[in-house]
A and B are shown apart, each in its own frame.
Chain A
């Protein structure tokens, strides 16, 4: 099955009930299995500019590269092309945003979080920086597969504060990494096996700050037969709970197998390996 047939993807974004404009940007490209969500920050419209640059750099560059290379192959350094493409283009977005911020005073200090996934060969490569998240619903289990780059997450990891108490923290909005605020950025990369029936959720903190993980998970579980409705329902829940921030979601449902087609030689080699 090709990737476009194997994945069902929907996205939705909303400015919320308090903010006048939307600094989140989302984009997806079903033909190459790419999903990108960015939550911008900075004065006036700089946040929108930063998140907009990030999603457009990732989508145009990765789509362009995938016309000539295959994500499941290894590059010269032995790394998978899909992983390298994601990382390099988050860094490229970082450079674009950083230089725009340096040259235009109204953009000084702008930045963005990012979470991006590239699906290929029954796997998903995930890149993230900051506190935008990716979750996975597999069977009954709903969990985050990204770990926030935030002060609060560091405190949780360090045992200073329990997960339950973390909800009460006033340090929620402090991210320890962002795209575009420095000349360099450290991108966290992970690769996960994908199973048929999995549902992946990418979201900005406007969702997970307003709606408990448990409620997000049960909503996906109940409405998985209708993905657009599930996306709309998540946004509606965030807004019904106060909608204090922009809220964006991308949902990806895995409907089929999308193993990379292999040549007879590759099949033979892998048969020998096993």
Chain B
């Protein structure tokens, strides 16, 4: 269940540590939880504070500093697969907590009994506890992790990869599209549809909204007595998908929808 740190040097795995304490220290002196006997490592070099499923790394004013994924840090919120560098040593942070729970189980809300303490928290709901897979142990190591995470999550989810931001932007895969205004004072102008929602028209008179969704662009009537027309046909209250070169007419202005690629 708990997250792990895998210590390696020059690609050779030296040791594996489970983050099973609220605070663990890394340093040269033997009393550290993760003791690395090397002169480039300060006596007490860094600390890792773990609260349930989240871990935070902190540089304890070490002489040579701490890098995470190649960037010098003072304090850092660790994400799965982060690589901590201390001198020539690397510590890889592995936290597959939710990546392997089944879709049914993951992210169900649980209750923490107050007062909130770290570790061994009494989660009151047995029925809703996240089922953890049989240890992602021995075999799991480095390469297997991203693959397993991907299999366990049918939907695009962000937490597994450090660089992503949840929720995954739905628009990433949508073909770029634009509107060209065909009549009225702005005839000839082009409007790129770069936002998830674009409203057209005059508030209080006639407004329609164009929505950009993972599977295409849609138009919906928002307000006004008169509904816009799509290829000469009046819209109803429902949304309608737009096809390449559809003609929209709204408040007396004609415009053409088209895909840019």
Contacts and interface: CB of A to CB of B under 8 A. Distances in A.
A171 B54 CA distance: 7
Interface string A147-176: 000010011000011000101111111111
A223 B209 contact: yes
Contact of B112 (A113, A176, A226, A229): A176
Nearest to B198: A222
B25 interface: no
Contacts of A130: 109
A225 interface: yes
A186 to B, nearest CB: 9
Contacts of A39: 109
Interface in B142-186: 155-159, 162, 165-168, 170
A241 B207 contact: no
A43 B124 CA distance: 12
B51 interface: yes
B114 interface: yes
Contacts of B167: 209-212, 241-242
B111 A111 contact: yes
A178 interface: yes
A170 B157 contact: no
B95 to A, nearest CB: 7
A18 B103 contact: yes
A173 B111 CA distance: 8
B125 A111 contact: yes
A241 B54 contact: no
B220 A170 contact: no
A43 B211 contact: no
A160 B110 contact: no
B128 A167 contact: no
Nearest to B167: A241
Contact of A171 (B51, B196, B222): B51
A229 B196 contact: no
Interface string B98-123: 10000110111111101010000001
Nearest to B222: A226
A126 B189 CA distance: 47
B156 A242 contact: yes
Contacts of B127: 42-44, 46, 108-109
Q: Say which size band chain A's interface belongs to.
A: 35 or more
B96 to A, nearest CB: 10
A50 to B, nearest CB: 11
Q: Is the interface of B mostly helix, strand, loop or mixed?
A: loop
Contacts of B79: 168
A205 interface: yes
A166 B27 CA distance: 28
Interface in A17-68: 17-19, 39, 41-44, 46
A161 B54 contact: yes
Contacts of A154: 116
Nearest to B111: A178
A244 B223 contact: no
Interface in A205-252: 205, 209-212, 215, 218-219, 222-223, 225-226, 229, 233, 236-237, 240-245
B69 interface: no
Nearest to B52: A171
B125 A151 contact: no
A99 B209 CA distance: 48
Given A43-B127, A170-B95, A209-B167, A17 B155 contact: yes
A173 B51 contact: no
A154 B115 CA distance: 11
B81 interface: no
B176 to A, nearest CB: 17
Interface of A: 17-19, 39, 41-44, 46, 108-109, 111, 113, 130-131, 151, 154-155, 160-161, 165, 167-178, 181, 205, 209-212, 215, 218-219, 222-223, 225-226, 229, 233, 236-237, 240-245
29 contacts: A17-B155, A41-B110, A41-B125, A113-B109, A131-B109, A154-B116, A160-B56, A161-B54, A167-B165, A167-B166, A168-B79, A168-B165, A169-B77, A170-B97, A170-B159, A171-B52, A174-B52, A175-B112, A176-B116, A205-B109, A210-B167, A212-B167, A215-B196, A222-B197, A226-B222, A233-B197, A241-B168, A242-B156, A243-B155
